[in-house]
């Protein structure tokens, strides 16, 4: 094999053998794109028997496994009334996930990369009632 072909093979073979990184799509299921920063943040909701909701989140790291984690928070009525929040620094298949329980349909979800610092919900957070259902019927 010529040196030129050997060099080409050395470059192409690892690229061909590398597993494909998940696309910028949400994980399997029905998800709503909530926002984008350095990550793509998705969420969905499940209605509980007591009338409240559970919100599941998944943030895609764009294939960069060394990125920091994510913060998620749920505000009720104002930015100062954070009813629940979670942090995840665990990445699995390029997604960091959180679960927020006992939230109302009018609560606002805020998601951000951990590189911003602790979660600080914004007034333009995504209302839970606008999220797709995790369990469509």
| Res 135: pLDDT | 73
| Res 124: pLDDT | 74
* pLDDT tens column, 65-88: 666 889 999 999 988 899 999 999
List Cβ neighbours of 32 (8 Å cut-off, separation of 6 or more). Answer: 42, 43, 44, 126, 130, 131, 132
Q: How far is the first Cα of the chain from the last one, in angstroms, to the nearest whole number?
A: 59
* pLDDT tens column, 54-64: 999 999 988 87
Residue 11 above 70 pLDDT?
A: no
* Average pLDDT, integer, range 5-16: 39
57 three-state secondary structure: strand
| Res 2: pLDDT | 56
Sort 42 into a burial class: Cβ within 10 Å, 0-12 / 13-18 / 19+: buried
**pLDDT class of 10 with cuts at 50, 70, 90:** very low
pTM over 0.85: no
| Res 115: pLDDT | 79
* pLDDT tens column, 83-128: 999 999 998 888 999 999 999 999 999 998 887 766 666 777 899 9
**Neighbouring C-beta atoms of residue 19, cutoff 10 Å:** 5
């Amino acid at each position: 094999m010529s040196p030129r072909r050997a060099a080409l093979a050395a470059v192409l073979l690892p690229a061909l053998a590398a597993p494909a990184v998940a696309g910028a799509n949400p994980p399997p299921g029905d998800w709503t794109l909530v926002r984008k920063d350095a990550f793509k943040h998705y969420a969905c909701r499940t209605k509980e028997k007591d009338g409240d909701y559970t919100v599941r989140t998944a943030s895609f790291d764009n294939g960069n496994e060394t990125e920091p984690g994510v913060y998620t928070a749920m505000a009720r009525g104002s930015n100062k009334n954070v009813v629940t929040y979670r942090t995840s620094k665990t990445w699995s298949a390029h997604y960091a996930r959180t679960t927020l329980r006992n939230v109302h349909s009018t609560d606002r979800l805020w998601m951000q990369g951990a590189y911003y610092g602790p979660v600080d919900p914004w007034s333009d957070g995504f209302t839970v009632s606008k999220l797709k259902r995790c369990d469509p019927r």
